[in-house]
Amino acid sequence: MSEADRAAGRARTGVALIGSTGSIGTQTLDVLSQFPNRFDLVTIAAGSNLELLADQVDRFAPVLAVHNAPHAALPRQRPGTRYDRGEPALIEAVTHPDVDIVIIASAGHAALRPAYEAILAGKAIALANKELIVCAGQIIMPLVRERGVSLRPIDSEHSAIWQSLGQARTHEISRLVLTASGGPFRSTPLDQLESMTVADALNHPTWAMGDKITIDSATMANKGLELIEARWLFDVAPHQIEAMIHPQSIIHSLVEFVEGSQIAQMSWPNMRLPIQLALTYPDRLPSVHRTLDLASVGSLEFGPLDDARFPAFRLAREAIMAGGSYPTAYSIADELAVAAFLRGEIRFTDIARALAITLERHDSVDVSSLDNVLHAVEQEHIRATETLRSLATGRGQSPAH
* Closer residue to ligand NAP (CB): 132 or 367: 132
- Residues facing residue 304 across a β-bridge: 244
CB of 127 to ligand NAP, least distance (A): 9
Q: Using CB under 6 A as the criterion, what x/- string covers residues 178-217 for binding ligand NAP?
A: -----------------------------x-xx-xx----
Question: In whole angstroms, what is the distance from residue 358 CA to residue 378 CA?
Answer: 14
Does position 129 interact with ligand NAP (CB under 6 A)? The reply is: yes
Question: In whole angstroms, what is the distance from residue 41 CA to residue 131 CA?
Answer: 24
Total of chain residues touching ligand NAP, rule CB under 6 A: 30
Region near ligand NAP per CB under 6 A, out of 122-130, 187-195, 197-205, 317-325: 122-130
Residue 252: what are its φ and ψ, rounded to 5°?
-90, -10
Identified binder of ligand NAP from the candidate list 96, 113, 123, 130, rule CB under 6 A = 130
Region near ligand NAP per CB under 6 A, out of 20-28, 171-179, 346-354, 374-382: 20-28
CB of 397 to ligand NAP, least distance (A): 29
With a CB cutoff of 8 Å and minimum separation 6, the contacts of 350 are 337, 340, 341, 391, 392, 398, 400
Identified binder of ligand NAP from the candidate list 15, 18, 133, 245, rule CB under 6 A = 18
Question: In whole angstroms, what is the distance from residue 327 CA to residue 335 CA?
Answer: 12
Residues 240-269 that bind ligand NAP (CB under 6 A): none
* Closer residue to ligand NAP (CB): 234 or 398: 234
Region near ligand NAP per CB under 6 A, out of 28-36, 129-137, 197-205, 259-267: 129-137
The secondary structure of residue 195, as a DSSP letter, is G
Region near ligand NAP per CB under 6 A, out of 1-9, 19-27, 297-305, 386-394: 19-27
* Closer residue to ligand NAP (CB): 115 or 177: 115
The secondary structure of residue 170, as a DSSP letter, is G
SS3 182: coil
Identified binder of ligand NAP from the candidate list 32, 110, 136, 243, rule CB under 6 A = 110
Q: Using CB under 6 A as the criterion, what x/- string covers residues 32-71 for binding ligand NAP?
A: -------------xxxxx------------------x---
Cα angle 153-154-157, degrees, rounded to a multiple of 5? 85
SS3 363: coil
Identified binder of ligand NAP from the candidate list 131, 229, 256, 334, rule CB under 6 A = 131
- Strands (DSSP E) contained in 54-199 are 64-67, 82-85, 101-104, 124-127, 151-153, 173-180
Say how far residue 102 (Cα) sits from the centre of its chain.
14
Residue 103: what are its φ and ψ, rounded to 5°?
-100, 120
Q: Do 29 and 271 touch, CB atoms closer than 8 A? A: no
- Residues facing residue 303 across a β-bridge: 245
Contact residues: ligand NAP, CB under 6 A = 18-25, 45-49, 68, 105-108, 110, 128-131, 155, 207, 209-210, 212-213, 271
